[in-house]
């Protein structure tokens, strides 16, 4: 399927990217895409798992210069380990030419991505909407696709209910390894996840209502780290974003 371009009923398109402008070598991203993408973190930034580990014992982190490139019309995330550290990245689209973070903040939206993740146990996707406030889990979190690349794809919504952090999960029981289109529709009535055009469920127990921003967070060691020899790729064919009208 090609990049969807244009408005949809109830949604106005604000971003569309298919990486067709040209190639960017490893270590040079975003390069020619700098007006539309941010690598987000500098090399060595702790990822989710590493934030819980002592600094000298970290086994994972974000290393965009060693992970991100563009070629043949796709964003390529080369997931691998060096010197015992599993390396991921977390690029973000820039919407409307924003020059300061968060790059693509909005309240409610439709987010769609065509991707292929090779089967790489220990590495994981958590492509998410994260609250601008950084008040987590009070202001919520929306993840899709999420999951260890050796297991199955799922969608998750985090929130607080009766003062307790809760997570509502939708599992289509589909493994990684093939091309898929993951779409999240976030509105005031809930969050609906679609995989390859088919709804996998609506989450409405707690729906975020404050600004959030979109990150293709790709990391590892949550909970299990990949074997040192595990390496492979996550390919992003296109990303499209709409705001609610």
Distances (CA, A) of 32 to 35, 74, 122: 8, 14, 31
β-strand pairing of 92-93 with 37-38: antiparallel
Alpha-carbon gap, residue 231 to 72, rounded angstroms: 20
Name the 3-class secondary structure at 60. Answer: strand
pLDDT at residue 55, rounded to an integer:
73
Pick the CATH number of 11-238 from 3.10.50.30, 3.30.930.10, 2.60.120.200, 1.20.58.220: 2.60.120.200
CA proximity to 160, closest of 205, 195, 220: 205
Local mean pLDDT, 10-residue blocks, the chain (245 residues): 96 97 98 95 94 81 98 98 97 83 91 98 98 95 98 96 92 96 97 98 94 97 95 98 97
Burial state string for 157-188 with b = 16 or more CB within 10 A and e = fewer than 16: bbbeeeeeeeebebebebebeeebbbbbbbee
Which residue matches tokens 């493994």?
175
Alpha-carbon gap, residue 231 to 91, rounded angstroms: 19
pTM exceeds 0.75:
yes
Segments making up each domain of the chain, as ranges: 11-238
pLDDT at residue 38, rounded to an integer:
95
Distances (CA, A) of 104 to 81, 130, 185, 214: 30, 11, 15, 7
pLDDT at residue 99, rounded to an integer:
63
* Contact residues for 59 (Cβ-Cβ < 8 A; gap 6+): 49, 50, 53, 84, 85, 86, 221, 225
pLDDT at residue 98, rounded to an integer:
66
CB 239 within 8 A of CB 127: no
Alpha-carbon gap, residue 60 to 193, rounded angstroms: 29
The count of residues in the chain is 245
Q: Which residues pair with 88 in a beta bridge?
A: 62
pLDDT at residue 102, rounded to an integer:
79
């Amino acid at each position: 399927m090609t990049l969807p371009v244009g408005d949809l009923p109830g949604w106005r398109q604000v971003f569309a990217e298919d990486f067709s402008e040209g190639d960017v070598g490893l270590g040079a991203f975003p390069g020619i895409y700098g007006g539309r993408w941010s690598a987000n973190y500098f090399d060595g930034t702790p990822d989710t798992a590493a934030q819980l580990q002592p600094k000298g014992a970290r086994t994972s982190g974000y290393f965009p210069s060693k992970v991100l490139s563009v070629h043949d019309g796709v964003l390529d995330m080369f997931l691998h380990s060096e010197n015992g550290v599993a390396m991921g990245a977390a690029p973000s689209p820039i919407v409307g030419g924003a020059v300061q973070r968060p790059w693509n903040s909005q309240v409610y939206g439709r987010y769609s991505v065509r991707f292929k993740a090779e089967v790489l146990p220990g590495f994981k996707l958590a492509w998410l909407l994260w609250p601008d406030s950084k008040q987590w889990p009070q202001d919520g979190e929306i993840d899709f696709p999420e999951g260890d690349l050796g297991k199955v794809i799922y969608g998750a919504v985090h929130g607080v209910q009766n003062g307790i952090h809760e997570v509502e999960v939708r599992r289509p029981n589909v493994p990684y390894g093939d091309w898929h289109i993951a779409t999240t529709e976030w509105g005031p009535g809930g969050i609906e996840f679609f995989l390859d055009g088919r709804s996998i469920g609506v989450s409405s127990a707690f729906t975020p209502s404050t600004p959030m921003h979109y990150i293709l967070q790709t990391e590892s060691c949550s909970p299990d780290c990949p074997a040192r020899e595990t390496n492979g790729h996550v390919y992003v064919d296109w990303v499209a974003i709409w705001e609610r009208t």
